[in-house]
Structure 1
Amino acid sequence: MSFIIYGAAVSVLGGALWVTFQFVQPLPPKKVTMVSGGEGGAYYAFAKQYAQFFKKHGYELEVLTSKGSMDNLNRINDPEADVQAALMQGGITTAEQHPDLESLGSLFYEPIWVFHSKRLRLKTLADLKGHKVAIGAEGSGTHHLVSTLLAENDITAETATLIPEGISEAAPQLQDRKIDALFAISGINSQAVEDLSLAHKTVKLYSFDRAETYVRTHHYLKKLTLPPGGIDLINNLPDSDVTLLAPTANLVVREDLHPALKYLFLLAADHVHKDGDMFAPSGHFPNKEALLFPLSDEARNFYKSGPPFLMRYLPFQLAITAERLKILLIPLLTLLFPLFKITPPAYRWQIRRRIFKWYKHLKELDMKAYELTDPAEARKMLEQLEHMDRMVLETSVPLSYTDYIYSLRLHIRMIEQRLKVIAGEIKEQDTV
């Protein structure tokens, strides 16, 4: 019977754990796929650093190359592409068009570089009308953003020759005077940017004179100042302040990516980008500003209070395992206290019930024996008491409860003595 009591308690506890387990996230997959950019670009280099961080924590991050941010957007939206994360340039789309995507934050500024021939007097972008301009390869974020800015200045395919080429292909053409200007979105450490800056005798870096207007009309853009010598200290390039515009690179994931992997991406981003660069001080990135898509819940918690408590002090895989167990402990602790309170009394009641059930029958015999005078009837009741005594003696109870057994048998003996007097087997004075 004790097995039934404790077995029922264990079953209740097991059932509660099973129900809770249905709401616990499964362990994250060991492999994640991320799309970056071209092999020579900053996106690809940063994604490779993420992959190293993932590897250190026991996960594989597969990094795919692409044509750029627009290509990344198309591939992360394609269910058959099996891409869970991407690096994207700010301002390439709107959140309403892609409800299944979330941002984990902004990572770094991506300045818009405009290099033009010194022959071209370029005060505003509208002055590019009638000229040959490289605006970035199709499928790139550069192409999308530059086309938007140029269109606002009435520079379209009808008013200028717009060439869909990136900085690597367009830079030699600019130096050879085959084109008049080129746009590029790249980090300050770009080799192509440095090379064009060194060609300052024939090529000039444009400073956005209406930067404040662009920033106020395009909230994903940031006004930056490149100080003298910011590109090359030895040659003092540029030789004066240059005003630049810059979107920020976003770390984008699918909404259904496992929450633990979102935290792993955030930890990787913090590890890779926290030191800052020419345009951002240490600790400025990653952050929740200038987002391309809504911020995920995990990122919101991360920027508010840092990584979850267990991830701060335990290895990542151990932390997420402990996090899952913590959820299971809630019903466990909730049920254990009442079970500990209820089970022992229920067990004691069940043991005592085995013994006390005989008292009902014993009381009936005692009532009959109280007014009994017939010796034959007394001997018949003695046989019943003898049978009861044997049954009580054979009742199995823990040693700690045997006092109940002997107390019952003592009461049986008292009634037996009274009946033996009536049956004439002993004299009344012998019962004392």
Structure 2
Amino acid sequence: MKSANGRTPPRLVARFVAISWRDLAVSFGPILLIAAAAIWIAVRLIQPAPPSTLTMTAGPQGSSFWNAAQKYKAILARNGITLNVLTSEGSAQNLQRLADPHGNVDVGFVQDGITATQPIDGLMSLGSVAYVPLAIFYHGPTVTRLSEFKGQRLAIGAEGSGTRELALALLKANGIEPDGSTKLLPLSGDEAAQALTEGKVDAAFLTGDSAQPPVMVKLTHTPNIQFYNFTQAEAYGRRFPYLTPIHIPMGAFDFGKNLPAQPLQMVAPTEELVARTSLHPALSDLLIEAAREVHGKANLLQHAGEFPAPLAHDFPISDDAARYYKSGKSFLYRVLPFWIASLVDRLLVVVVPLVVVLIPALRLVPSLYAWRVKSRIYRWYGALIAIERGALSETSAEERQALIERLDAIEESVNGLKMPLAYADQFYVLREHIGFVRARLTQGLDHPHDAAHPHAPAAASPADEAGKPSTASPHETA
């Protein structure tokens, strides 16, 4: 049905809705994708939950490090961690187990100085936990240099022990090789001390449990047995960086008998707590805490609090251990139980990226939403301006009719919009502007004579009429 002027009346105006879900989805969709990508990256990087079981390789059953491992076991059990302790021949076997990628060992005690010159991949240090002093007892006249033991019978420790590895390194530096005239016997501990007292060996190299003060006092009291004084201790410390010179003051073993009767010098490598690089950071902290409780007390060789310490020689100190020695436990592990702190710590890895991404992004959503809705309105103004410029120029009736048809198409499209109620005012402003352009176009069509004679003077606009002086008399005006 057409109106009186022959134009089809426009259909109903746009449908108004509370919110445009399509525009909201398009505005919010990229942010959701970015957030999902951030979560995916965080989940890929997040540390898994710490395992509830660890395996430690320690030393011979009853040795000081085996006993220390039992204390570690009790301490870790407070936090729900089960520690399985394996016996071993000593540091060399511990290192072999740790270096085996297929071995089921997570952490162990390894004496410095027994590794090859090249570092072993996949292992890291949680710090040094104790000195392992080297004590040498021998028969006969006083010996001042290790090279004087050449050609004698020496008990240097069992195969796979740190004592043997250290003795071989020091003897080699003094020109004594395993295949030479010197007999290097695989005796250690009490067996080596007994062989020395019975005269079956000429010297015994003792470390760790075998070099504890009670054993040293016993051998010192044995006739014709002397304690080797490392008069070159400082030089050994310079030559072998993993060795620390140890000063034993006069009377340290027995005040009443003044043993030793003069100060003695010893050398001692440190024992490191070595772990695989795959060790969970939370368990790294627990192990260092246990080491502090077990090894932190004062004794003849160390001051209180001297161990554990970030002294790494053969293995790089782990980043988590370095952080712990510098600033202690993290805040969460200080105030929360271990497993809750571990859970919260892992959740933060996901939450923080979300907060960083979503909070700024959510502030942009209203602006993006408003821009999308308004863009559907603003895009018609370019076409209106083009039509209005055509209306202002000198055009024929046919050209004006074509412009009106273009305007009808625009109005039809605008009336088909689906608009949120919040933007209804801008929609109606656009319709008013369409009506304004339509009035410009139909102005010429309402005066056919003017359209037939385009050069005739145009009718004055309401503004022009308002600007002319009035010709009516004052009486008529009144």
Q: TM-score range by the shorter chain?
A: 0.7 to 0.9
1:188-337 aligned at under 5 Å gives the runs: 190=212, 193-195=213-215, 197-198=217-218, 200-203=220-223, 204=225, 206-212=227-233, 213-232=235-254, 236-289=258-311, 291-303=313-325, 305-307=326-328, 309-310=330-331, 313-315=334-336, 316-328=338-350, 331-336=353-358
Aligned partners of 2:57 and 2:88 also within 8 Å: yes
- Equivalents in 2 of 1:155, 1:354: separation in Å? 91
Q: Does the residue aligned with 2:274 lie in a helix, a strand or coil?
A: strand
Q: Which string of whole-angstrom CA distances, capped at 9 and with x for unpartnered residues, describes residues 32-63 of structure 1?
A: 32211111112222223333333333433322
Question: Quick check: 1:115–1:205 contact (8 Å CA) kept in 2?
Answer: yes
Alpha-carbon contact 1:94-1:293 (below 8 Å) kept:
no
Q: Helix, strand or coil: the match of 1:82?
A: coil
Q: Deviations over 1:142-162 (max 9, x none)?
A: 011113323426375643443
Specify whether residues 401 and 127 from structure 1 end up closer, same or farther in structure 2 by C-alpha distance, changes over 3 A only: same
2:156 to 135, 138, 150: 135
Greater gyration radius? 2
Question: Which secondary structure state, in structure 1, belongs to the residue aligned with residue 98 of structure 2?
Answer: helix
Residues in 2 aligned to 1:310 and 1:177: alpha-carbon distance in whole angstroms: 60
User: How many pairs does the alignment contain?
Assistant: 417
* 1:49-91 deviations in Å (ceiling 9; x for gaps): 3333333334333221110111112111222222232211111
1:173 Cα deviation (Å)? 3.4
Q: Does 1:168 align with 2:190?
A: yes
Q: Where does the alignment leave 5 or more consecutive residues of structure 2 unmatched?
A: 1-22, 447-478
Bigger drift between 408-417 and 67-76 goes to 408-417
Match of 1:111 among 109, 133, 137: 133
Letter in 2 for 1:194: P
- Please state whether the residue corresponding to 1:252 is helix, strand or coil: strand
Q: Secondary structure at the match of 1:270?
A: helix
- Aligned residue for 1:123? 143
SS in 1 for 2:307: coil
Correspondence 1:309-388 to 2 at 5 A: 309-310=330-331, 313-315=334-336, 316-328=338-350, 331-336=353-358, 338-353=360-375
Match of 1:428 in 2: none
State the alpha-carbon separation in 2 of the partners of residues 130 and 364 from structure 1: 112
Task: Pick 1 or 2: higher relative contact order, CA cutoff 8 A, min separation 6.
Answer: 2
- Structure 1: runs of 5+ lacking an equivalent: 424-432
* Aligned residues of 1:113 and 1:186 also touching (Cα < 8 A): no
Contact 1:393/1:405 (CA < 8 Å) preserved in 2? Answer: no
Partner in structure 2 of residue 10 of structure 1: 32
Output the aligned Cα RMSD.
4.4
Q: For 1:388-427, what per-residue CA distance to the aligned partner results, in whole angstroms no more than 9, with x for missing partners? A: 79x98996655544444566677789999999xx99xxxx
Do 2:123 and 2:274's aligned partners in 1 also have CA atoms closer than 8 Å?
yes
| 2:464 aligned residue | none
Q: Could you tell me the TM-score, scaled by structure 1's length?
A: 0.76
Q: Following the alignment from structure 2 to structure 1, what is the Cα–Cα distance between the partners of residues 368 and 221?
A: 95
2-structure distance, mates of 1:228, 1:153: 32
1:128/1:155 contact within 8 Å kept: no
Question: For residues 138 and 120 of structure 2, what CA distance do their matches in structure 1 show?
Answer: 36
Does 2:80 match 1:55? no
Contact 2:332 2:345 in 1 (8 A): no
In 1: Cα distance, 2:211 partner to 2:189 partner: 14
Distance 1:393 1:174, change over 3 A: same
Residue 112 of structure 2 corresponds to which residue in structure 1?
90
| Cα distance change on mapping 1:291 and 1:364 into 2, 3 Å | closer
Between the aligned partners of 1:226 and 1:188, the Cα distance in structure 2 is 17
Q: Which residue of 2 aligns with 1:430?
A: none
| One-letter amino acid of the counterpart of residue 140, structure 1 | S
Asked if the contact 1:105/1:291 (under 8 Å) is kept, the reply is no
CA contact (8 A) 1:106 1:250 kept: yes
> Closer, same or farther in 2 for the Cα pair 1:412/1:261, shift >3 Å?
same
CA deviation map 1:361-412 (0-9, x unaligned): 99999999999xx9xxx9xx9xx99xx79x9899665554444456667778
**Conservation of the 8 A alpha-carbon contact between 2:291 and 2:308:** yes
- Aligned-partner residue type, residue 144 of structure 1: E
CA contact 2:113–2:242 (8 Å) conserved in 1:
yes
